[in-house]
Amino acid sequence: MKSLKELFSLKGKTAIVTGGAGYLGKAICETLAELGADLYIASRTKEKCVSFAEILMKKYPIKAMGNFLDITNIDSIRENLDACIKKFGHIDILVNDAWSGNKNTFDSITYEDWSYDINVCLNGVFYTIKETVSHLEKRQGIILNIASMYGHIAPDYRMYDGKKYANPPSYGAAKAGVIQLTKYLASFLAEKKIRVNAISPGPFPFKSTQEENQEFINRLSEKNIVGRIGDPDDLKGAVALLCSDASRYMTGQNICVDGGWAVW
C-alpha cells in the first residue's frame, strides 16, 4: 500500500502549464513544484514565464523553463512540445490554464469578440490536447483542464455593473465546452491510459478588480456560502489531487472550487 506522501509525489514528472505565470497559473505551478515536478511554463508573455520559472527553481529543487506559446496556433504548440521534450525528455502532465477574453455584456459583444473568445478558451484547449496526447500516452499521463463555475451555472446579472466588470456570454459557453470535452476525453483516452479531469474555480477576481471595485467584491462575497472570494492558494489542494496518483481512480470529473457558490 502506498503512503499519501508517495501518492502525491511528482518527483520525476514533467508538467506543462499553459498560462502558468498568470493569476491562478502561479498557484498551479507552485503546487506542482512543491510536489517535485519539473515545469514547462508557457503563455503569450514569455518574460513572465521565464521570470517565474527562475523563481520556482530558486525555491524548490526542480528544473523549470518558461517560453512563449500561442495556444490558437498549431505550429506554436508543436514548437513548445519539441522544446519541452528537448529540455526534459518527456511529458507527464498537461494543465490547460491559458485564457484570454474580452469584457462584454450580451449587448456589447461583437461577432469578432465571440469568435476570439471561443477560439482561445475552447479551441485552444482542444488544439493543445490534440498535439500533446501522443507524448502523454507514452507516460500514462494526466490532463487537467481549468474550467469555471460559469461553465455549468449562469452568472447573476444583478452582480455586475457595466461592461468593464461584466461576464461575457462567450466565457461561460467556452468553459461549458471545456467541461464536456473533459468528460469526452476521459472516455476516449482511457484506452491510452490517460486520465482527464477538470477544476471549476468560482469567484477569483483579479487583484486589479479587487482594488478598483470593492463594492463588486462585497457583492461576490455576500452571495457566496463561505462569505468571501477565492484566493489562488485555494486551488492548490484540488490541483495536487488531480495531477498526482492520489486521484488514480478518478477521471472525467469536474471539481468545483467555488466556496459553495453553485449549491444555492
Annotated catalytic residue, options 40, 60, 127, 171: 171
Active site residue 165: no
**Distance between CA atoms of residues 184 and 230, nearest Å:** 28
**Active-site residue list:** 171
